[in-house]
Chains A and B, each alone.
Chain A
Amino acid sequence: MRPFDYHRATSSAEAARAVAAPGATVIAGGTNLLDLMKLEVMAPERLIDITRLDLGGIEETGDGGLRIGTLVRNADLAADARVRRDYPVLSRALLAGASGQLRNKATTGGNLMQRTRCYYFYDTAMPCNKREPGSGCGAIGGVTRLHAILGASEHCIATHPSDMAVALLALDATVELEGPEGEGRSVPLADFHRLPGDTPHIETVLQPGEIITAVTLPPPVRGRQVYRKVRDRASYAFALVSVAAVVRMEDGRIAHAALAFGGLAHKPWRDPAVEDLLVGEAPSEALFDRAADRLLADARGQGGNDFKIPLARRTLKAVLADATREAAA
């Protein structure tokens, strides 16, 4: 690991100012950052430790939603009674990710900021436009089992590894940011992560000198919430494909459908056209096939991940069958 200066922040504005400096990086749980620093994939000159700040806690908002402090640990969020009752898809997604030890450390904001697990990003002997802009993409033409089938570019085919973010996206979460003068702004999670394009090293809309302070959930949607994750082993593995669904039925028809996908793209993926196609319709296998056709219309495999196209179809159909059947009961 390269040497760095360690600084313990005393306020969120001070942390934001400190992180505006080139080479400075926020550390919270550290479970991904320290892993990458040991491999020298990341080599920050200065770590800004925000773990002593008052940015934890889960509070109810005035409109009946929840505000989740950025330092709330994944384990605490998954176990929160309100989350288990009103946002079960979020508990399920969190519990499907990582291990008990990691969930005890990993934070809400850190989970959103975690980096891809692309093998070529991790291997400093290989080219990677994310790690070293302009060096090329080692994954294209290489081993691509984990890689994207939607929204990729000729510069990067990496996927976002989070389960939590997929559930948050289906729940229409908002990310709260704070700048160096204490000024805040809110960004819908759908707009927080970026597609790779020709700048895959820029992964979010977070600006230098901004930190995540919280994630806010709108009031819960009635209906059935499902998280289904397909992976190479039964526990403690990243998603090949995951689907988060929030579905409400009325009179045998789909009244609301929010669907988000993990393992498919550089960001948690959501396609409003898929949801529009479902709303107002009675569930049927033909309908679910049309939804999968729409989702995967532009899907493109890289060879090693071609299997994800039929796998995404089957997973989506299984989730829709589950969500519409139980919601109707």
Chain B
Amino acid sequence: MRTELTVNGTVHVLEADPRTSLLDALRHHLGLTGSKKGCDHGQCGACTVIVDGRRINSCLTLACMHDGEAITTIEGLGTPVAMAPLQAAFVDRDAYQCGYCTPGQICSATAMLDEVAAGWPSHVTDDLEAAPDLSDAEISERMSGNLCRCSAYPNIVAAIRDAAEGTR
């Protein structure tokens, strides 16, 4: 079926089986292979993209359900010569080993910092009504939907902290 997606600012018209996940549409139909397929069941977060400002698991949604919506993938956040602050922070902090989860980590962290800025609490926030601070415990909890099998978590938390504090 026909689906129109605006990906990283460019309009694409897709003709695909309704079973096509948003992740497969991005990777196989549009050639944007930055978003990764890990578990394909919403458990690992490697496929995380930002849809209309929200981070979601692109493997667990149908492309056709996003007709007319705006999607940002890792390719839309920055380039090797013009990295986004989070991308630069991940490089600087060596916040990966194999790198497979990294695009999902960075897309997730990008939207997560917006959620903090909007005042959303998390499971570890003491006061539901206060503006959340960005402690290491908060970063870990808010990023728990992104697994890193190399366990680069300490450096991932440090990189996100750097980017959030604008030190990058």
Contacts and interface: CB of A to CB of B under 8 A. Distances in A.
A34 B56 contact: no
A120 B11 CA distance: 43
A230 to B, nearest CB: 13
Contact of A3 (B19, B62, B112, B128): B19
Given A30-B65, A104-B54, A4 B19 contact: yes
Contact of B144 (A31, A91, A235): A235
A49 B65 contact: yes
Contacts of A100: 55, 108, 111-112, 115, 142-145
B62 A30 contact: yes
Nearest to A94: B123
Contact of B60 (A34, A49, A81, A95): A34
A78 B121 contact: yes
B45 A99 contact: yes
Given A38-B40, A101-B145, A235-B140, A96 B123 contact: yes
Contacts of A27: 62, 65
B62 A101 contact: no
A105 B64 contact: no
A236 B144 contact: yes
B120 interface: yes
Interface residues of A, number: 35
A27 B128 CA distance: 31
B15 interface: no
Nearest to A83: B128
Nearest to A229: B123
B55 A101 contact: yes
A1 interface: yes
Interface string A78-96: 1101001100100110011
Contact of A79 (B1, B119, B143, B145): B119
A75 B116 CA distance: 12
A92 B128 contact: yes
A6 B62 contact: yes
Contacts of A98: 145
B76 interface: no
- Could you say which of B41, B65, B118 has the most chain A C-beta atoms within 10 Å of its C-beta? B65
B18 A101 contact: no
Nearest to A34: B60
A236 B129 contact: no
A235 B123 contact: yes
A101 B19 contact: no
B42 A91 contact: no
A100 B120 CA distance: 11
A31 B128 contact: no
Contacts of B54: 75, 104-105
Given A38-B41, A100-B115, A102-B42, A4 B142 contact: no
A29 to B, nearest CB: 8
Given A38-B40, A102-B42, A95 B19 contact: no
Contacts of B64: 6
A153 interface: no
Given A35-B41, A79-B118, A235-B140, A99 B60 contact: no
B129 A85 contact: yes
B94 interface: no
A83 to B, nearest CB: 9
Nearest to B48: A101
Given A4-B19, A79-B120, A235 B42 contact: no
Nearest to A33: B60
A305 interface: no
Nearest to A104: B54
A4 B60 contact: no
A1 B120 contact: no
Contact of B55 (A3, A34, A104): A104
7 contacts: A4-B18, A30-B65, A51-B65, A78-B121, A91-B128, A101-B48, A101-B108
Given A3-B19, A35-B60, A100-B144, 6 more contacts: A31-B57, A78-B120, A79-B119, A84-B129, A95-B121, A95-B122
10 pairs of A and B residues whose beta carbons are closest in the complex: A99-B145, A235-B144, A6-B18, A236-B144, A84-B128, A104-B54, A79-B120, A95-B123, A101-B145, A101-B57
